[in-house]
């Protein structure tokens, strides 16, 4: 018979380790599971590597043990177990029961003692024993048959100590570990030891004398006067400390080793529990069948490939997938359409779909309810083919995003995985990624598309229910869904670009760049690649010996703020800054934009990502039209290339003035700030007056600049460090500045405190329209993570509500333009501004309705103010 192998796990120690090593995650039911998760990964690893025949997990029982009788202060001063961890212990017990692993705790004894007793018993029977713990004390148990695995960092990274390793690391025998503890103590258990004796001294003494008792008997032989005194003074304490550190190996355990058998069979209970806890990634590790299912759906799906569609009888409620070849649906070809309804599962090849009047009619029929995995993508893809998709009642992408914006992906496969629904592979698995990306053979492709629709139809009810539970229905149905249609129209409309003008700018820039380049080479006395921070750093800080202001991970920092500080040290700096400025304009804006201009129409069609930014803002890609230069004149000129798409039209731009600060005034109900806006004062000047305690005419330009920076900081949730950087002051000064600010606006201060408390209590914050952002890290013990979450808690309701407002305005504006039968088209949104193109004879009307709609999108207790302007190009609309 094979030799018995016993694995003993220090349950409390590993649970603690796991809890602190992993971020405080919770599953979809809001239950914290990080410790359980970490514990489980450790357990799975141990089971796999050790394949034990016997197993037991020991826990500490209750608060006091026999050690407290010896020493009342034992484990004193220890932080209370965080409730987020305590609540996970029952789950860990449940987990062990599911695995059918014996667990044990004993009144008056610690887990250490249970493990010690059992390991000695097993040792005497010549079983092989492995102890898993994070507690070094247990090293005292090591001997010929007993090995101890100590967690290093994380939970699954361990060092396994045998006799040799203990000797190597400490130069001691395992049984001397307790002597070491006796001398040096253990602050985590509040064991005193001998003051002034640390690990080094303790080991030195033990190498010479062997045990605590021998050391104390031979104090006169110890070298060092101070050390002698200390040993003499703390004799009793040293002996007691040793006693405390000694693990009891004869605890009155009522459990037979033989009953701790482990069969290494994963039961259905385990799989059930994993599902319940949301451990989807662990599921396929324990369940090979599940793994296969997850990788490649094994359950067959029946579907019909339609080679013609004469009467589109797909029912009046269907999941529809319009698969697109390219990620950029503006120029991507449609790969096929999947339709799943109570009439069955269908795949319509593109060429059939585009030929079929019946299908077109069905897709355009507003009375047929359609669920989409990404409505904007499908709508725009079809629109390019002359089909106007109607009847979209549910967009899974947006639903998933609203339910938890921080989920990394909201495509249908990811949503399905999160909800534990099987039957669809990821796009990456089907299409590959990067250079290897390709369209698979027809059969694989059609099945994948149909599966997407099938799974979509399955998850819609769950998503709907979750939206309802989280009070997101209004936001979803009334705002985001209608907005997606508006955004799609804006994208497809596109913005006209004056290509010639852009090309001319490019030529000019290239010439200038050449000039500056040669100037820089001359000043540097060498030729190099100015665009390479590495080479530039070498030239500036080695060749030219300029002082190093800041370093990065890889070398010298050459960022603008560093160069700014070196400006008067060398002529070359100014040239480099100018080179950077022009280089950026040329590569990102001139060349970058020219690359994405639609060849036939000379228009640019961006895509707005509606399901990405954590605050609820939109983002814009391919190209990003939300970061076209404006601050510096040279860059601002890029806007001259953005023109109306019709003759005698203008670009009309309208932006909210100080929308975030107005939102803050409203949310915080801060009297002073509301007053500033109600009286239409300049808010930065007003801030300066309050913070510096001066009258209006005493506010200097610099005071206003500083006040503006603080307001900016409040709006973007930056730290005192961030503010110190932007104002060029110390962190301390910045901190005091913020403090003064908050004292000037007590309502704001109160809000900041309240919202952090609320976030801690609820686990999330919300915007005015109930958009949610979860902040699990707000209870982190890591200062950075926690601080960041706190600033996010303060900032997200402000920025997110501002995003709500402009989104609402966009939906209203679209309705209004249609209602008034105007030709004016909304083209872009840049966070707090809307850009239109309009016939000249509609300008008057727009001057009236644009501010009206935008200012009344949502009612606040302060007025919203909109400024507008128009001109022949975007540049001129200033």
By beta-carbon proximity to DNA, the closer residue of 354 and 577 is: 577
Residue 556, classed as helix, strand or coil, is strand
**What minimum distance in Å lies between the beta carbon of 642 and DNA?**
13
Q: Under DSSP, is residue 639 helix (H, G, I), strand (E, B) or coil?
A: helix
d(CA 453, CA 412): 9
Write out the residues near DNA by the rule CB under 7 A.
434-436, 529, 531-535, 552-555, 557-560, 563, 577, 580-581, 584, 587-588, 591-592, 595, 609, 612-615, 617, 619-624, 626-632, 635-636, 716-719, 721-722, 782-784, 787, 791, 830-833
Helix (H) or strand (E) holding 688: helix 683-692
The nearest distance, CB 864 to DNA, in angstroms, is 14
Please, is 216 exposed, middle or buried when counting C-beta atoms within 10 Å of its C-beta (0-12, 13-18, 19+)?
Answer: buried
* Nearest residue (CB) to DNA, 293 versus 622: 622
Q: Give the nearer residue to DNA in terms of CB position, either 735 or 851.
A: 735
User: Is the CB of 119 or the CB of 658 nearer to DNA?
Assistant: 658
- The smaller minimum CB distance to DNA, of residues 112 and 575, is found at 575
Helices 11-21 and 89-99, axial angle in degrees (round to 10): 120
User: In whole angstroms, how close is the CB of 734 to DNA at the nearest point?
Assistant: 10
Of the two residues 444 and 632, which places its CB atom closer to DNA in the complex? 632
Name the nearest CA neighbour of 451 among 650, 300, 229: 300
Nearest to 140 by CA among 122, 158, 113, 105: 113
Q: Report in angstroms how near the CB of residue 414 gets to DNA at its nearest.
A: 17
Q: In what order do the strands lie in the sheet with 649-657?
A: 825-829, 833-839, 649-657, 865-871
| Nearer to DNA (CB atom), residue 298 or residue 532 | 532
- Helix, strand or coil, per DSSP, at residue 9: strand
Closest approach, Cβ 571 to DNA, in A, equals 17
**Nearest to DNA of 3, 80 (CB atom):** 80
Residue pair 491/380 in contact by the 8 Å Cβ criterion: yes
Sign of CA dihedral 165, 166, 167, 170: positive
End-to-end CA gap in the chain = 88
| C-alpha triplet 441, 442, 445: angle, nearest 5° | 85
Is the peptide bond between 623 and the residue preceding it cis, with omega within 30 degrees of 0? yes
CB of 565 to DNA, least distance (A): 12
CA 474 to centroid of chain Cα atoms: 26
Residues 801 and 806: their CA atoms lie apart, in Å, by 9
Residue found by looking up tokens 């593109």 in the block:
350
User: Minimum CB separation from DNA for residue 815, in Å?
Assistant: 24
- What is the nearest approach in angstroms of DNA to the Cβ of residue 389? 24
Are the beta carbons of 32 and 19 closer than 8 angstroms? no
Residues 653-692, buried b or exposed e (16+ Cβ, 10 A)? bbbbebbbbbbbbbbbebebbbebbeeeebbbbbbbbbbb
Q: Which is nearer to DNA, 7 or 398 (CB)?
A: 398
Please spell the DSSP secondary structure of 572-637, one letter per residue: HHHHHHHHHHHHHIIIIIIIHHHHTB-TTT-EE--EEESS--TTS--EEESS--S----SSHHHHG
Q: Nearer to DNA by C-beta: 552 or 700?
A: 552
Q: Which is nearer to DNA, 580 or 684 (CB)?
A: 580
Q: Nearest distance from residue 829's CB to DNA, in Å?
A: 10
Tell the smallest beta-carbon distance from residue 28 to DNA (Å).
Answer: 21
Q: Give the separation between CA 714 and CA 716, rounded to whole angstroms.
A: 6
Least distance from DNA to the Cβ atom of residue 724, Å: 8
What distance in Å separates the CA atoms of residue 160 and residue 149, rounded to the nearest whole number? Answer: 4
Of 567 and 840, which has the nearer Cβ to DNA? 567
Instruction: For residue 239, count CB atoms less than 10 angstroms from its CB and return exposed for 0-12, middle for 13-18, buried for 19 or more.
Output: middle
- The least CB distance from residue 27 to DNA, in Å, is 23
Return the number of the residue (390 or 609) whose C-beta is nearest DNA: 609
Give the shortest CB-123-to-DNA separation in angstroms: 41
**Contact (CB, 8 A) for 381 and 322:** yes
Q: How far is 32 from 88, CA to CA, in rounded Å?
A: 7
């Amino acid at each position: 018979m094979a030799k018995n192998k016993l694995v003993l796990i220090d349950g409390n120690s590993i649970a603690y380790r796991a809890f602190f090593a992993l971020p405080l995650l919770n599953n979809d039911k809001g239950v914290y599971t990080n410790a359980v998760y970490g514990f489980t990964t450790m357990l799975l690893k141990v089971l796999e590597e050790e394949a034990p025949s016997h197993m037991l997990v020991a826990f500490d029982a209750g608060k006091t043990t026999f050690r407290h009788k010896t020493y009342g202060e034992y484990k004193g001063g220890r932080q209370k177990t965080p409730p987020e961890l305590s609540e996970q212990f029952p789950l860990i017990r449940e987990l062990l029961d599911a695995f059918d692993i014996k667990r044990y705790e004993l009144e008056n004894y610690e887990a250490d003692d249970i493990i010690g007793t059992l390991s000695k018993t097993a040792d005497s029977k010549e079983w092989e024993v492995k102890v898993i713990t994070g507690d070094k004390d247990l090293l005292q148990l090591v001997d010929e048959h007993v090995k101890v695995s100590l967690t290093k960092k994380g939970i699954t990274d361990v060092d396994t100590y045998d006799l040799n390793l203990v000797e190597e690391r400490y130069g001691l025998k395992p049984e001397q570990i307790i002597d070491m503890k006796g001398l040096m103590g253990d602050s985590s258990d509040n064991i005193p030891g001998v003051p002034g004796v640390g690990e080094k001294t303790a080991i030195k003494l033990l190498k010479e004398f062997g045990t605590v008792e021998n050391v104390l008997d031979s104090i006169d032989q110890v070298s060092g006067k101070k050390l002698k005194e200390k040993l003499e003074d703390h004799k009793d304490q040293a002996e007691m400390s040793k006693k405390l550190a000694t693990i009891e190996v004869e605890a009155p355990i009522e459990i037979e080793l033989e009953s701790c058998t482990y069969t290494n069979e994963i039961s259905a209970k385990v799989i059930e529990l994993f599902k319940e806890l949301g451990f989807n990634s662990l599921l396929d590790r324990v369940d090979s069948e599940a793994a296969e299912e997850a990788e490649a759906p094994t359950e067959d799906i029946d579907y019909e490939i339609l080679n013609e569609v004469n009467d589109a009888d797909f029912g009046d409620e269907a999941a529809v997938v319009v698969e697109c070849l390219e990620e950029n649906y503006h120029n991507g070809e449609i790969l096929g359409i999947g339709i799943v309804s109570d009439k069955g599962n269908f795949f319509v090849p593109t060429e059939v779909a585009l030929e079929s009047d019946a299908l077109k009619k069905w897709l355009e029929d507003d009375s047929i309810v359609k669920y989409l995995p990404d409505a904007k993508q499908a709508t725009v893809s079809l629109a390019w083919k002359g089909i106007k998709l109607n009847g979209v009642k549910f967009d899974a992408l947006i639903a998933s995003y609203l339910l938890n914006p921080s989920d990394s992906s909201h495509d249908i496969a990811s949503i399905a995985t999160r909800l534990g629904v099987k039957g669809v592979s990821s796009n990456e698995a089907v299409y590959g990624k990067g250079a290897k990306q390709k369209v698979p053979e027809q059969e694989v492709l059609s099945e994948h598309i149909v599966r997407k629709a099938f799974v979509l139809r399955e998850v819609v009810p769950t998503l709907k229910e979750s939206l309802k539970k989280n009070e997101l229905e209004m936001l979803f149905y009334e705002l985001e869904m209608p907005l997606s249609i508006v955004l799609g129209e804006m994208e497809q409309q596109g913005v006209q670009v004056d290509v010639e003008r852009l090309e001319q700018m490019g030529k000019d820039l290239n010439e200038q760049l050449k000039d500056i380049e040669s100037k820089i080479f001359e000043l540097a006395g060498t030729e190099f690649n100015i665009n390479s921070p590495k080479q530039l750093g070498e030239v500036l800080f080695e060749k030219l010996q300029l002082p190093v202001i800041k370093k990065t991970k890889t070398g010298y920092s050459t960022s603008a703020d560093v160069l700014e500080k070196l400006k008067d040290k060398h002529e070359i700096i100014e040239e480099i800054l100018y080179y950077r400025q022009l280089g950026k304009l040329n590569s990102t804006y001139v060349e970058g934009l020219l690359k994405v201009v639609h060849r036939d129409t000379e228009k640019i069609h961006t895509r707005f990502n509606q399901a990405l930014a954590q605050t609820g803002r939109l983002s814009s890609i391919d190209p990003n039209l939300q970061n076209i230069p404006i601050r510096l004149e040279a860059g601002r000129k890029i806007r001259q290339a953005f023109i109306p798409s019709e003759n005698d039209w203008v670009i009309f731009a309208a932006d909210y003035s100080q929308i975030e600060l107005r939102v803050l005034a409203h949310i915080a109900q801060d009297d002073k700030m509301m007053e500033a806006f109600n009286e239409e004062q300049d808010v930065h000047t007003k801030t300066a007056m309050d913070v510096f305690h001066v009258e209006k005419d005493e506010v200097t330009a610099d005071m206003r600049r500083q006040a503006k920076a603080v307001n900016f900081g409040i709006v973007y949730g930056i730290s005192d460090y961030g503010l110190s950087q932007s104002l060029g002051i110390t962190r301390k000064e910045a901190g005091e500045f913020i403090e003064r600010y908050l004292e000037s606006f007590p309502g704001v201060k109160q809000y900041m405190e309240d919202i952090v408390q609320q976030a801690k209590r609820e686990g999330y914050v919300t915007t005015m329209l109930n958009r949610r952002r979860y902040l699990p890290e707000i209870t982190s013990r890591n200062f950075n993570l926690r601080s960041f979450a706190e600033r996010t808690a303060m900032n997200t309701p402000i920025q997110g509500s501002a995003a709500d407002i402009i989104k609402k305005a966009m939906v209203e504006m679209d309705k209004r333009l249609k209602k008034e039968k105007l030709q004016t088209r909304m083209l872009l949104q840049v966070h707090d501004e809307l850009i239109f193109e309009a016939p000249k004879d509609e300008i008057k009307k727009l001057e009236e309705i644009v501010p009206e709609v935008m200012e009344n999108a949502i009612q606040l207790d302060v007025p919203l103010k909109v400024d507008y302007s128009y001109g022949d190009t975007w540049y001129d609309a200033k």
